Amino acid sequence: MEDALKRLNAIFDTVIDGIIIIDRNGIIESANPAAGKLFGYTREELIGNNVSMIMTEEHRSHHDGYLHRYQKTREAKIIGIGREVPGRHKDGTEIPIRLAVSEVSLSDGKTIYTGILHDLTEIKKAENTLIRLNQNLEQRVKQRTLKLQEVISELLDVNRRYEEELAHRKEIEEALRKNEIELLGMLDREKELNELKSRFVSMASHEFKTPLSTILSSVSLIRRYALDEHLEKREKHIDRIRRSVEHLDGILNDFLSLSKLEEGRINIQLTSFPVAELCHGLISDMQGILKEGQEIKFHDDTNGRPITSDKRVLTNALINLVSNASKYSDEGKAIQCSAHFEKDSIVISVIDEGIGIPDEDQKHLFSRFFRAHNAINIKGTGLGLHIVQGYLKLLDGEIEFESELNKGSIFRIRLQQ
């Protein structure tokens, strides 16, 4: 125990940082030689005095209050934390120090506080020297910067004249590029128009040929059935003529609708109306085009809530969808039509049990004149869905679909409300 005490005293007396031990009232109980040297006091001058004697006036008046407040509240500002504070030398000068304070409770119940004080004088001198050197450096940089700015100004003047000339050349080049782009665009448009013209001629010649042949054939045969007993046969051929004329009328309507859409000749007139009113009218109008045994069933989940849209344009879009559902479904297959609200949108669906759309064809479904490979032998222009998409763009709506080959398709119109 005695040897350990000797070792501790040897460390206490020889450590280069100042060490001061005070009691709970701030009275110095012990100080090592380094502490006396730091503040210019002998150990005897320090021991027994309040530790505030080595503090500056700013901290001296508050020290005792701080110590008592800590003992009462245990709210530490230096103890166990450490910080940089100014100390006061015997001659009155300030000493920058790094102070770390620890609290120790002794076995007899007594509490002492040990402060370790590291002299920052040399560090502060080095910092001040660095500050002065940095200030000198900044001044030199400013001087060099001024000279550099003069040179830069001259260069900028030369560069400005060069940029003016370059800008003039760029304007000429940009005009040439713009003309080139416009010419290429016109060329591409011309190619597209030629391609569309070829596809139109091919499709029209095919689609018109069959109904016209049917009409000519039926007209010739009707002449042979002039007697009353031939009434049934005459009516059969009259029906064939009617269906062929309706088919031709549908083709012409598609062409007219496409023309109006592309030329921007469709004016939107918004009104409010119940969806059920629109769909029931549509079902009534579509009865004449349905195949044998087909029926349109409408499911209304809107609770009579009206929508705001262009009734005529929306009706035309739905006519195309229902017509496709009938066209690509067999006789006797049901066609479902439903309407419901999803948040701020009205969703109108047309569901069929038809031939479906092959997966590889679905990405082209809304292209002009496109026909899925399993629908080649079914009459149509390939314009219906393209026209529907055009109508919905005018209504700020969108169309989506699901389809499974040989099982049917679901087309959904979604309009914001």
Q: What is the CATH number of the domain that holds 200?
A: 1.10.287.130
376 versus 354: which is more confidently predicted?
354
- Indicate if 6 and 94 belong to the same structural domain: yes
Where among 264, 283, 310 does a domain terminate?
Answer: 264
Of the listed ranges 128-132, 223-227, 298-302, 303-307, the least confidently predicted one is 223-227
Q: Give the pLDDT band (50/70/90) at residue 226.
A: low
- Indicate if 220 and 181 belong to the same structural domain: yes
Q: What is the pLDDT of residue 310?
A: 95
- Indicate if 63 and 205 belong to the same structural domain: no
Where among 238, 264, 290 does a domain terminate?
Answer: 264
64 versus 414: which is more confidently predicted?
414
- Indicate if 276 and 412 belong to the same structural domain: yes
pLDDT in tens, 126-160: 888 888 888 888 888 888 888 888 878 887 877 78
- Indicate if 153 and 289 belong to the same structural domain: no
- Indicate if 167 and 61 belong to the same structural domain: no
Of the listed ranges 54-63, 253-262, 363-372, the least confidently predicted one is 253-262
Of the listed ranges 3-17, 262-276, 315-329, 397-411, the least confidently predicted one is 3-17
- Indicate if 72 and 115 belong to the same structural domain: yes
Of the listed ranges 26-40, 79-93, 227-241, 282-296, the least confidently predicted one is 227-241
Q: What is the pLDDT of residue 361?
A: 95
Q: What is the DSSP string of 35-49?
A: HHHHHT--HHHHTTS
Return the residue matching tokens 């095919």. Answer: 206
Q: What is the pLDDT of residue 252?
A: 66
Q: How confident is the model over 1-22, as a mean pLDDT?
A: 80
Query: Tokens representing 390?
Result: 């055009």
- Exposure b/e, 79-108, CB count within 10 A at least 16 = b: beeeeebebbeeeeeebbbebbbeeeeeee
Cα–Cα dist 89/46, whole Å: 12
Number of Cβ within a 10 Å radius of residue 114: 15
Q: How confident is the model over 166-182, as a mean pLDDT?
A: 79
- Indicate if 149 and 114 belong to the same structural domain: no
Give 336's strand partners: 297, 351
- Indicate if 108 and 125 belong to the same structural domain: no
Look at residue 70 and tell me whether its pLDDT is greater than 80.
Answer: no
- Indicate if 133 and 114 belong to the same structural domain: no
97 versus 339: which is more confidently predicted?
339
Q: What is the pLDDT of residue 372?
A: 92
What is the arrangement of strands in the sheet containing 408-416, beginning at the earlier edge strand?
295-300, 334-342, 345-351, 408-416, 397-404
Here the CATH number for the domain that contains residue 10 is 3.30.450.20
Read off the DSSP letter of residue 24: T
Q: Give the pLDDT band (50/70/90) at residue 55.
A: confident
Q: How confident is the model over 258-279, as a mean pLDDT?
A: 87
Look at residue 193 and tell me whether its pLDDT is greater than 50.
Answer: no
Torsion on CA atoms 90, 91, 95, 97, rounded to nearest 10: -10
Q: Give the pLDDT band (50/70/90) at residue 120.
A: confident
- Indicate if 257 and 273 belong to the same structural domain: no
Cα–Cα dist 7/92, whole Å: 35
343 versus 221: which is more confidently predicted?
343
- Indicate if 185 and 237 belong to the same structural domain: yes
Give 309's strand partners: 271
Q: How confident is the model over 283-310, as a mean pLDDT?
A: 91
Look at residue 258 and tell me whether its pLDDT is greater than 80.
Answer: no
Cα end-to-end span (Å), the chain:
91
Task: State which of 227-231, 239-243, 361-365, 377-381 shows the largest mean pLDDT.
Answer: 361-365
Angle 400-402-404 from CA coordinates, rounded to 5°: 155
- Exposure b/e, 195-224, CB count within 10 A at least 16 = b: eeeeebeebeeebeeebeebbeebeeebee
Q: How confident is the model over 183-208, as a mean pLDDT?
A: 55
Give the pTM: 0.48
Domain count, the chain: 3
Where among 196, 230, 264 does a domain terminate?
Answer: 264
Q: What is the pLDDT of residue 324?
A: 93
353 versus 377: which is more confidently predicted?
353
Cα–Cα dist 377/374, whole Å: 8
Look at residue 303 and tell me whether its pLDDT is greater than 70.
Answer: yes
Query: Tokens representing 207?
Result: 């689609």
Q: What does DSSP say about strands 334-342 and 295-300: parallel, antiparallel, or unpaired?
A: parallel
Number of Cβ within a 10 Å radius of residue 8: 10
Residue ranges of alpha helices (H) inside 225-274 are: 231-263
Write out the residue range of the structural domain in which residue 323 sits.
266-416
Average pLDDT, the chain: 83
